[in-house]
């Protein structure tokens, strides 16, 4: 009770229902930390203090009325009622911004709630604000945000991953117990790995994409960040389910058991006994850091020692995942981003008075270099004479990637365990001038999106003092089984020393003299320019 921000969401839920704490207390505590530390982290693009406190008061009233009505009414409340949460800044919140990390949407005010937002409001969650992200979710480091990079609380000179780096950093820094991200090629799992938290990408169609700014429509999926599997399950439960406004939303029922992952470690660990786990050799990619590979193999060994059966398998088309993704995703982004023209909303440059000239000026000024790169790649892949050679062929390879996974499920495996990121968090600026190197950051996560499968990253220890994530991949609609497996691993490693560690440089974020990520970026740019001048 000394620090309310250190509680897990499920702990907050119990205290709220007993009346030991109020949602306003929880919200004020999280707002204070987020506002104080955000200069050094740049995890939040906007914090809605007044709105958040109003939502907290409404949640307190709702809980009080349920308590007065009796135990049945109290238990009928969603566990997230009164719990603070952060949203990635591509989720529409009526009356709020949704920049998608881009200048082209600066000043845009969403006229409606996304389905995710509406379901969180229905649950009674308290929306604290919107988190930083790579522009239009294109990036693996959050350095492509038009509003400056986000820092990793484990090392402020390093990236938190991306594109959902702000959501991951906010949870890792105790600014919110849970947050929402999106995952198109690893944008939940990779930042979760680099920040040492849990991140889950659900099966494609599990969560409605209505009201989410689109990047690649056949790949995007919304999912939770949390500090443990129980909280991730609560948030997944709140936002999942069929939505008539999203044609890709599936009618698959939401498992009620998501609300009841075992609290007891012995019960949780018992789930691992007899489970059959696949370990794909192709995921230990060339260039993977030895410390990362070691932590992942140690985690798998611990699961095996707890009673699971681990067998090495081959997913032979994995090596084609990166190339296939970077044809399909840019092609879809080229189509989706055509709507941002300055005519109806967002940035518009009408200085020339000529429609086509203004259109080109608006997009030229509004989009950053990575977004332009992918629009050009996608437009090329879809152009006459190249559609069959690139896009159509990539879709055929995508089917082969999916068939590799199907063979694993047909063989009777319960899940796949693999590395999530080939490296720990890398220094800011290290990969900005090498797009291919940046793209390789997602080599272990992209195939899951290509196949539409659920995947998650859970903390698996440290390498050189920085977090390493274990990736769990499941069959379609197997999120509950994955979360039970993750909860089992948490139980068997509950006494590991690394589980009690705070992010190493989190205390520096309280120092007003600590450079902001934007200042760090400017210094890096200055040093790079000086170095280039010296060589010339």
Rounded to whole angstroms, the Cα distance separating 291 from 288 reads 9
Concerning whether 88 is annotated as a catalytic residue, the answer is yes
What's 434's DSSP letter? -
Task: State the catalytic residue, choosing from 88, 275, 431, 521.
Answer: 88
Beta-carbon contacts of 287 under 8 Å, excluding residues fewer than 6 positions away, are 422, 440
19 phi-psi bin (left φ>0, alpha ψ -120 to 50, beta other)? left
CA distances from 88 to 85, 266, 434 (A): 10, 35, 26
Buried residues in 431-459 as b, exposed as e (16+ CB within 10 A): bbeeeeebbbbbbbbbbbbbbbbbbbbbb
Residue 46 dihedral angles phi and psi, to the nearest 5°: -155, 140
- Whole-angstrom CA distances from 302 to 299, 322, 468, 490, 492 are 5, 30, 15, 11, 8
- 92, 173, 187, 229: the catalytic one is 187
Closest CA to 5 of 176, 149, 138, 129: 176
Distance CA 131, CA 96 (A): 13
- 421 noted as active-site residue: no
Q: Let me know if 163 is a catalytic residue.
A: yes
Phi, psi of 88 (to 5 degrees): -60, 145
Selecting among 23, 163, 167, 173, the annotated active-site residue is 163
Output b/e per residue, 325-352; b: 16+ Cβ within 10 A: bbbbbbbbbbbbbeebbbeebbbbbeee
CB 242 within 8 A of CB 209: no
Could you give the CA distance from residue 258 to residue 244 in angstroms, rounded to a whole number?
23
CB within 8 A of 351, min separation 6: which ones?
Answer: 358, 361
Radius of gyration of the chain, Cα coordinates, nearest whole angstrom: 22
The tokens for 486 are 């993750």
* Cα angle, residue 280 at apex, residues 328 and 320 outer, rounded to 5°: 25
Which residue bears the tokens 């990539």?
Answer: 394
Cβ burial 469-496 (10 Å sphere, 16+ → b, else e):
bbbbbbbbbbbbbbbbbbbbbbbbbeee
Distances (CA, A) of 409 to 51, 470, 475, 476: 46, 20, 7, 10
* Residues tagged active-site: 88, 163, 187
């Amino acid at each position: 009770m000394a620090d309310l921000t250190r509680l897990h969401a499920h702990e907050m839920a119990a205290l709220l229902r007993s009346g030991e704490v109020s949602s306003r207390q929880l919200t004020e505590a999280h707002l204070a930390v987020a506002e104080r530390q955000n200069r050094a982290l740049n995890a939040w693009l906007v914090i809605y203090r007044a709105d958040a406190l109003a939502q907290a008061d409404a949640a307190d009233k709702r809980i009080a009325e349920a308590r007065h009505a009796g135990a049945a009414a109290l238990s009928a409340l969603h566990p997230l009622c009164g719990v603070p949460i952060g949203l990635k800044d591509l989720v529409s919140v009526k009356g709020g911004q949704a920049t998608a990390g881009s200048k082209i949407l600066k000043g845009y005010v969403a006229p409606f709630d996304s389905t995710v937002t509406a379901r969180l409001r229905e649950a009674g969650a308290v929306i604290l604000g919107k988190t930083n992200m790579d522009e239009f979710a294109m990036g693996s480091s959050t350095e492509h945000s038009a509003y400056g990079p986000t820092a990793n609380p484990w090392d402020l000179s390093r990236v938190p991953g991306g594109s959902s780096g702000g959501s991951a950093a906010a949870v890792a820094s105790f600014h919110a117990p849970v947050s929402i991200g999106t995952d198109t090629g690893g944008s939940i799992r990779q930042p979760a790995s680099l920040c040492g938290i849990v991140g889950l990408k659900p099966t494609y169609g599990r969560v409605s994409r209505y009201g989410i700014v689109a990047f690649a429509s056949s790949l995007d999926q919304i999912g939770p960040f949390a500090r443990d599997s129980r909280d991730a399950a609560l948030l997944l439960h709140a936002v999942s389910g069929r939505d008539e406004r999203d044609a890709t939303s599936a009618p698959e029922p939401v498992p009620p058991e998501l609300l009841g992952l075992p609290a007891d470690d012995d019960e949780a660990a018992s789930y691992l006994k007899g489970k059959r786990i696949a370990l794909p050799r192709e995921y230990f990619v060339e260039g993977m850091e030895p410390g990362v590979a070691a932590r992942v193999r140690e985690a798998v060994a611990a699961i095996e020692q707890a009673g699971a059966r681990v067998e090495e398998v081959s997913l032979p088309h994995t090596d084609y995942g990166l190339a296939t993704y970077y044809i399909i995703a840019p092609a879809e982004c080229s189509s989706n981003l055509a709507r941002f023209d300055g005519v109806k909303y967002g940035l518009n440059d009408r200085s020339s008075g000529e429609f086509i000239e203004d259109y080109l000026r608006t997009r030229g000024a509004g989009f950053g270099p990575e977004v332009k790169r992918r629009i050009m790649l996608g437009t090329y892949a879809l152009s006459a004479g190249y559609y069959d050679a690139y896009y159509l062929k990539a879709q055929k390879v995508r089917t082969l990637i999916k068939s590799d996974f199907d063979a694993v499920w047909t063989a009777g495996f319960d899940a796949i365990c693999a590395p999530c990121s080939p490296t720990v968090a890398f220094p800011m600026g290290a990969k900005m001038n090498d797009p291919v190197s940046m793209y390789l950051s997602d080599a272990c996560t992209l195939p899951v999106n290509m196949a539409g499968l659920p995947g998650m990253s859970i903390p698996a220890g440290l390498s050189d003092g920085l977090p390493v994530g274990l990736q769990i991949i499941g069959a379609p609609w197997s999120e509950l089984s994955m979360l039970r497996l993750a909860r089992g691993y948490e139980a068997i490693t509950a006494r590991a020393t690394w589980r009690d560690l705070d992010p190493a440089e989190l205390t520096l974020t309280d120092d007003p003299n600590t450079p902001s990520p934007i200042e760090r970026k400017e210094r890096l740019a200055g040093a790079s320019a000086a170095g280039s001048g010296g060589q010339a």
